[in-house]
């Protein structure tokens, strides 16, 4: 019996979704393997893989991002910068578009940290929409941790400086995703309130 055109379209849509899920699972496995010996700088020393998963989840649930390449690149966004992964390896496993997104959000670790931070501010307005969304979700995740689960060796002023710098980067990302921008504004407001409470407690 011949399938109707509607059934064929539904079948193709289901097949495409299955391919997306397969690619996403592959990316999670790849990223987990690459980051397996790394931990976040938070007080608990949580597994590093929690961070890219948080970024991807934020893109999906808050930003309503449905581009599978952006979600996969979010899972992989720190692999080139923080592990021995190469851009060509990303392209081999996940394609040219994912490689491009990952490279857009990757700092050049051969440069001094201050220069990397300056370049993030300078480059932010010129990123692709997908890269802007990844970087915005990344900043939300990071400022949350800096405020509510800070590294034990980060003094108060370093935390304040990070929030100030992150806001300057995000100023160049605005216009890419209203939902994420609203969450950033709420998160940085809560973060500043937390830092104010922390310094008040120290003074007390």
The confidence score (pLDDT) of residue 203 equals 55
The confidence score (pLDDT) of residue 202 equals 59
The neighbouring-strand residues paired with 47 are 39
Q: What domains can be seen in the chain, in order of their start residue?
A: 5-203 (1.10.3210.10)
Active site residues per annotation: 81-82
The neighbouring-strand residues paired with 39 are 47
Q: 3-class SS at 4?
A: coil
Question: Given its phi and psi angles, is residue 152 left (phi above 0), alpha (psi -120 to 50 degrees) or beta?
Answer: alpha
pTM value > 0.75: yes
Rounded to a whole number of angstroms, the distance between the first and last alpha carbons of the chain is 79
Q: Are 105 and 130 in contact (CB under 8 A)?
A: no
Largest separation between any pair of C-alpha atoms in the chain = 79
Q: Are 166 and 158 in contact (CB under 8 A)?
A: no
pLDDT in 10s for each residue of the chain, 204 residues: 444 444 444 444 445 588 999 999 999 999 999 999 999 988 788 999 999 999 999 999 999 999 999 999 999 999 999 999 999 999 999 999 999 999 999 999 999 999 999 999 999 999 999 999 999 999 999 999 999 999 989 999 999 999 999 999 999 999 999 999 999 999 999 999 999 998 876 555
> What are the C-alpha distances in Å from 141 to residues 70, 97, 109, 144, 184?
17, 24, 21, 5, 9
């Amino acid at each position: 019996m011949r399938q109707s055109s509607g059934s064929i379209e539904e079948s193709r849509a289901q097949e495409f979704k299955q391919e997306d899920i397969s690619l996403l699972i592959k990316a999670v496995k790849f990223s987990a393997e690459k980051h397996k010996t790394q931990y976040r700088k938070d007080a608990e020393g949580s597994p590093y893989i929690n961070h890219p998963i948080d970024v991807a989840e934020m893109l999906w649930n808050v930003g309503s991002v449905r581009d599978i390449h952006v979600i996969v690149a979010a899972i992989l966004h720190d692999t080139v910068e923080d592990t021995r992964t190469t851009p060509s390896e990303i392209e081999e496993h996940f394609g040219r578009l994912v490689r491009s997104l990952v490279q857009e959000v990757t700092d050049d670790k051969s440069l001094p940290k201050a220069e990397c931070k300056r370049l993030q501010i300078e480059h932010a307005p010129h990123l692709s929409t997908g890269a802007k969304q990844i970087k915005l979700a990344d900043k939300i995740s990071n400022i949350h941790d800096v405020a509510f689960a800070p590294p034990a060796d980060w003094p108060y002023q370093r935390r304040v400086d990070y929030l100030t710098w992150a806001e300057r980067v995000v100023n160049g990302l605005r216009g890419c995703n209203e939902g994420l921008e609203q969450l950033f504004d709420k998160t940085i407001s809560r973060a500043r309130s937390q830092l104010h409470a922390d310094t008040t407690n120290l003074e007390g």
